[in-house]
C-alpha cells in the first residue's frame, strides 16, 4: 500500500447493527434479526431484478423456465421472499403487505413471544419493473400492542407512524442500497455484490435544506386543485437571484424519487386531485416509512395539512396525499394549499 494512503474502515451492516443499534433502549437481538432477514430477502430480490431483462429469453412469467420451474412475476416473487424470510426469522407476529388484502398472522413454532410487526411494500414502482428502471422495497417495523403470545392481529398493524421503531427501503438501482432509520438518524448501506454484504456508505444522511427540484406526476395537472397549480406556477417562475424555475425529476418509483431527493435535495409530491381525492400512495407501507426517514433526515412529511406520522390509520391499505421534503419547501406548499384550496384535502 502507498505510505500516504491510510486504510478506510469498512463497516458492514452487521457491525453497524452490533455497534450502534444494539445500544438503543429497545434494541434486542430479535430486532436486529429482522433487519438481517429483510437484508437476506432483498439480496434474493436483487438477484432476480438483475435477471429481469432475461425473462424474454429464459421464459415469460407464468411459463416454465428451463429448470421446469414456473417463472413468477417479480412483485409476487419479492412478496414471497420477504414473507418467507420474516417467517423463518421468527421475530414477527403479523405482517401487512401491499400484495395481500388481509394482514398475515404469523405462527411461530420456535418463538411464540415474537413481538414485532412488519408492514411492507415488497416491490414498489410496479410500472418500472420491466423497463430496467430503479424500483425498491419499503418497510416499516412496529412493536406488537395486543396482549398475549401467538400471532398478532390487524390492530397491531394499524398503529400511527409515530410508533414506528424502524423504517427504511431497499433500492434496486445502479447499485443496490439499504437506507434505514431507527429514530437515531438515517444511514445508507450499499450492497457489494462481490462479497454479498451491505457496507456503510452514507452516514447520517440529512436532506439538503434548500430545494430546486420537484418530483410530481404533472400529467395529472388538469385534475389538480388550485393550491398545487398555484404552487407550480410559482416554482416555474423566473426571478432575479432565485433558484426558480425549479427542475422536474420524476421517475415514477417512490423509492427512487425519494432517494434522489434525500441525497440531492427536492420535494416529492403526490397530491389529492379530483380523480383521487385521497391521493394514491398507501399510508402504512409507503407514506409512514418515508415520513419517518424524512423527519430523521431533518425534513418534513405531511398530507398537505397534517403530519403523516400523526394520522390514525383505519385500514391496512388506506391512501393518503403525500408531501416529502425539506421543511421550508413543504411549509411553502402548505401556504399555497391553505390560500387557494377551497376543498378539504381528505
Per-position x/- string for 119-158, each x denoting binding to Mg ion as judged by CB under 5 A, each - no binding: --x--x----------------------------------
Provide the CB-side half-sphere exposure for 295 (13 A, CA). 19
- Tell me the number of residues near Mg ion by CB under 5 A: 2
| Continuous H helices in 52-136 | 55-58, 74-89
> Can residue 126 be called a binding residue for ligand AHM (CB under 6 A)?
yes
Report whether 302 contacts 268 (CB < 8 A): no
Rounded to 5°, the CA angle 87-93-94 comes to 90
Least Cβ distance, residue 198 to Mg ion (angstroms): 22
C-alpha 29/C-alpha 40 separation (Å) is 16
Give me the phi and psi of 178, to 5 degrees please: -115, 130
DSSP-derived 3-state class of residue 323 = strand
Q: How large is the C-alpha radius of gyration of the chain?
A: 21
Least Cβ distance, residue 7 to Mg ion (angstroms): 40
Q: By C-beta, is 130 or 192 nearer to ligand AHM?
A: 130
Q: By C-beta, is 259 or 280 nearer to ligand AHM?
A: 280
Least Cβ distance, residue 253 to ligand AHM (angstroms): 5
C-alpha 226/C-alpha 209 separation (Å) is 26
Give me the phi and psi of 36, to 5 degrees please: -65, -45
**Residue 289: its H or E element:** helix 288-296
Q: By C-beta, is 124 or 329 nearer to ligand AHM?
A: 124
DSSP-derived 3-state class of residue 177 = strand
Q: By C-beta, is 84 or 217 nearer to ligand AHM?
A: 217
Nine-digit cell at 283? 399510508
Judged by CB under 6 A, the stretch of 15-23, 24-32, 48-56, 250-258 that binds ligand AHM is 250-258
Q: By C-beta, is 91 or 137 nearer to ligand AHM?
A: 137
> Can residue 75 be called a binding residue for Mg ion (CB under 5 A)?
no
Judged by CB under 6 A, the stretch of 22-30, 79-87, 182-190, 249-257 that binds ligand AHM is 249-257
Residue of 59, 252, 298, 313 interacting with ligand AHM (CB under 6 A): 252
Least Cβ distance, residue 209 to Mg ion (angstroms): 28
Which residues contribute to the site for ligand AHM (CB under 6 A)? 98, 121, 124-127, 217, 252-254, 280
Amino acid at each position: 500500500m502507498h505510505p500516504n494512503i491510510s486504510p478506510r474502515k469498512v463497516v458492514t451492516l452487521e457491525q453497524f447493527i452490533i455497534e450502534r443499534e444494539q445500544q438503543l433502549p429497545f434494541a434486542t437481538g430479535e430486532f436486529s434479526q429482522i433487519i438481517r432477514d429483510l437484508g437476506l430477502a432483498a439480496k434474493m430480490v436483487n438477484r432476480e431484478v438483475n435477471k429481469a431483462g432475461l425473462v424474454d429469453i429464459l421464459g415469460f412469467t407464468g411459463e416454465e423456465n428451463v429448470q421446469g420451474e414456473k417463472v413468477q412475476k417479480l412483485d409476487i416473487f419479492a412478496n414471497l421472499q420477504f414473507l418467507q424470510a420474516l417467517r423463518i426469522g421468527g421475530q414477527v407476529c403479523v405482517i401487512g403487505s401491499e400484495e395481500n388484502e388481509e394482514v398475515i398472522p404469523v405462527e411461530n413454532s420456535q418463538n411464540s413471544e415474537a413481538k414485532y410487526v412488519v408492514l411492507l411494500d415488497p416491490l414498489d414502482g410496479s410500472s418500472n419493473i420491466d423497463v430496467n428502471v430503479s424500483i425498491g422495497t419499503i418497510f416499516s417495523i412496529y412493536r406488537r400492542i395486543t396482549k398475549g403470545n401467538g400471532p398478532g392481529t390487524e390492530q397491531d398493524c394499524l398503529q400511527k407512524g409515530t410508533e414506528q421503531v424502524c423504517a427504511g427501503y431497499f433500492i434496486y438501482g445502479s447499485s443496490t442500497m439499504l437506507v434505514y432509520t431507527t429514530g437515531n438518524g438515517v444511514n445508507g448501506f450499499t450492497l457489494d455484490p462481490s462479497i454479498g454484504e451491505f457496507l456503510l456508505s452514507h452516514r447520517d444522511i440529512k436532506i439538503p435544506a434548500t430545494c430546486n427540484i420537484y418530483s410530481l406526476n404533472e400529467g395529472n395537472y388538469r385534475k389538480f386543485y388550485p393550491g398545487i397549480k398555484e404552487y407550480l406556477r410559482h416554482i416555474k417562475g423566473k426571478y432575479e437571484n432565485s433558484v426558480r424555475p425549479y427542475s422536474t425529476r420524476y421517475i415514477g418509483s417512490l423509492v427512487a424519487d425519494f432517494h434522489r431527493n434525500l441525497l440531492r435535495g427536492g420535494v416529492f409530491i403526490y397530491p389529492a386531485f379530483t380523480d383521487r381525492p385521497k391521493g394514491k400512495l398507501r399510508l402504512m407501507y409507503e407514506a409512514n416509512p418515508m415520513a419517518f426517514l424524512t423527519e430523521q433526515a431533518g425534513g418534513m412529511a405531511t398530507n398537505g395539512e397534517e403530519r403523516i406520522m400523526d394520522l390514525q390509520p383505519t385500514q391496512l391499505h388506506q391512501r393518503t396525499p403525500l408531501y416529502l421534503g425539506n421543511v421550508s419547501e413543504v411549509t411553502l406548499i402548505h401556504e399555497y394549499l391553505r390560500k387557494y384550496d377551497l376543498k378539504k384535502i381528505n
